[in-house]
Amino acid sequence: MSQGATLAVDVGGTFTDAVVSTTDGLFTGKRPTTPADQSVGVIAAAAEAMENADVQPAEIATFLHGMTVTTNAMLEGAFARTAFFATQGFVDIEQLGRQNRADLYRLCAQGPRPIVSSDLRFGVRERCGPEGVVSALDESSVERACARCAAAEIESIAVCLLFSFRYPEHELRVREIIARELPHVHVSLSHEVVGTFREYERAATTIADAALSPLLADYLGVLSERVVQIGLPQPQVMLSNGGTADAELAARNAASTVLSGPAGGAIGAALSASRRGAPRAIGFDMGGTSTDVCVVDDGAVRTAENHAIGARPIALPTLDIGTVGAGGGSIAWRDDGGAMRVGPHSAGADPGPACYGQGGRRPTVTDANLLLGYLDTNSALAGGLELDHEAAERAIGALAHSLKLDVHETAAGIIEIANLEMQGQVAAMTVARGVDPREYALVAFGGAGPMHGAAIADSLGIERVICPAACGVLSAVGMAAAGSRRDHSLSIVRALDELDQLQVERVIEQLADRGAEELRRPLDALQTRVVHSVRYRGQGFELAVESDFEQLERAFHDAHHDRFGFMDQAAEVELVTVRVSVETVGTTPSTATVAPSSTHENRSAWFNGQWRSTQVYRGAFAQSVPIDGPTILELDQATVVVPPCWSAQQFVDGDVVLVRAPGGGEDR
């Protein structure tokens, strides 16, 4: 084997997936995630994939990695000990927030607890305004704050000064003082992390970046040591924007990795949809802990200018991915009112669902799938796991007893509730945004996606479901296809008629040069994308517009009309922010021809409230003639459930496409 293979590893809540892409095809590995130290599972999955590919570590040219270190920390509130330096009088901005309520009539509902406690917020005597410096920086105020941070054993400091996005000199000087007084403390500056106006979002994102960066640096440091020991190259880390960056850069900008794993899946969904001739698609990634949903238009995943993790804003460009706490490991339970609920708590990788036989006793979606016949005790699982039917029946039986239901009725209820949760997330990403899901294909992937894909599609009127050949490891496949990318923004907040083209072009050039420098590539070797955030003066929100400056006003009017049904050509148009992305072009992993190797049998499975004789294919069947449901396809990467009134066809590259019969399918 010649050098040049690509290794990609994605850490999920339950399993860690790996792929090795060579000229001979795509080879996979899957091992249980190791929550205490994710790098252990990463190395194990990588070793399995390399063994299957007959590739040695020295033959790996590129190692790409997506992980959940920062995501988990955000959700669990496990942060580095962090201090906050702000302009005097504005130190409580993270706690004050926007005063928005998720539930308008729950006056006592609390938002997320501030990352930085009140005793670690320090006011810096300085002030800049829209036109420049109002009060010079009092360096002694920074020195006093540093002394208190030293006594408090601070690990990281977030700095967010007013108008630093336009006048960054004070923040830069604050960093110099911190470096002198506290040389081993990480520092995040708001104008570098975000670079845009709106103090709360800028401060919250900078604080998150500071609180996460030491944790990510520690993890990547351990992983880097492990890969050196076995001869692998240093990892390129998957970012939330769909690009990658080297480990050192990612560790310094941890807030850009909070959607690291899901971003790979979104790219993989777009690739799979394009391969099957579906430029418009909905990515449906159902793993063990959660389900991620994205929308693909014209072959590209939709993007968002900001995101929220655990109700904490991250004001950075991301792939537009929605997440719901429903997955194969989601736990079913009885609430205080006697109703059955599913999720958001998950059995995770340890102990996992009861049927994994690793000590789990609480019923999960996977246990329900086993009892209803969609899975079988002979179904092969990663890591040599074997399914235990009796353990699943005991777990669900205990819940059924508390609900006074039959065990199989309870299992069917678990699946129905989980499906409703996931259907709601798909609707939130489509119907609620004016997108008709019936015009899209559903790309079902993740360990459990193909089992539930047809039911989700049927509930939304979607007629085509694509189950990629590598659906069980598609997030890793997407990472293998990603190029390096950096995004930088600058808020201008000026009326268009007050700006000239040269001013804007200079800003674009500066941001592009900064990204190219971070990627260590010449700018002419990178693809550059420019997005302008524009609004009518007085509006509190902006629209993202891709256009050259000369046509920007006209393009904004058109975009506003498309989104809201009207335009106001007499109103003053304001350029708020310029966002510049520079990236390398990724490579599409190769695919191999699948040879038919299936065995055929029948077993009973639960459809439409009753047991039905169901044909089961194990292995690749690659038949040119579609197979009608009810059918279960036990493929190498996942189990595909084909309900009645649906049919399945497998293509020579291994992809399976489900098509709904005219007149609609049926619920399970």
Percent of the chain with pLDDT over 90: 70
Task: Give yes or no for residue 592 having a pLDDT over 80.
Answer: no
- CA-to-CA separations, 234 to 7, 62, 216, 546, in angstroms, rounded: 11, 8, 15, 35
Cβ proximity of 17 and 42 under 8 Å: no
Tens-digit pLDDT profile for residues 390-433: 999 999 999 999 999 999 999 999 999 999 999 999 999 999 98
Tens-digit pLDDT profile for residues 315-329: 999 999 998 888 898
Task: Give yes or no for residue 128 having a pLDDT over 90.
Answer: yes
Q: Output the pLDDT for position 456.
A: 97
Q: Output the pLDDT for position 578.
A: 94
Q: Output the pLDDT for position 251.
A: 93
Q: Check residue 586 and report its DSSP letter.
A: P
Local confidence band at 490 (pLDDT 50, 70, 90 cut-offs): very high
Q: Which two tokens stand for residue 590?
A: 């190769």
Strand-pairing partners, residue 86, are 123, 160
Q: Output the pLDDT for position 106.
A: 81
CA distance 369 to 412: 8
Q: Output the pLDDT for position 640.
A: 94
CA distance 126 to 344: 45
What is 485-583's CATH number? Answer: 3.30.1490
Would you kindly state where each structural domain of the chain is located, as residue ranges?
5-74+217-257, 81-198, 485-583
Task: Give yes or no for residue 507 having a pLDDT over 60.
Answer: yes
Q: Which two tokens stand for residue 446?
A: 């993740």
Same fold for the pair 5-74+217-257 and 485-583: no
Q: Output the pLDDT for position 594.
A: 65
Tens-digit pLDDT profile for residues 102-127: 777 887 877 789 999 999 999 999 99
Local confidence band at 1 (pLDDT 50, 70, 90 cut-offs): very low
Q: Output the pLDDT for position 2.
A: 45
Q: Which two tokens stand for residue 375?
A: 């899975």
Q: Output the pLDDT for position 620.
A: 76
Tens-digit pLDDT profile for residues 606-665: 999 999 999 998 887 766 678 898 999 988 878 999 999 999 998 888 899 999 987 655
Residue 651: phi and psi, rounded to 5, are -95, 170
CA distance 557 to 551: 10
What superfamily in CATH does domain 5-74+217-257 come from? ATPase, nucleotide binding domain (3.30.420.40)
Cβ proximity of 576 and 499 under 8 Å: no
Q: Work out the mean pLDDT of the chain and round it to a whole number.
A: 91
The whole-number average pLDDT for the span 34-52 is: 92
Half-sphere exposure of 61 (CA within 13 A, CB side): 11
Percent of the chain with pLDDT over 70: 96
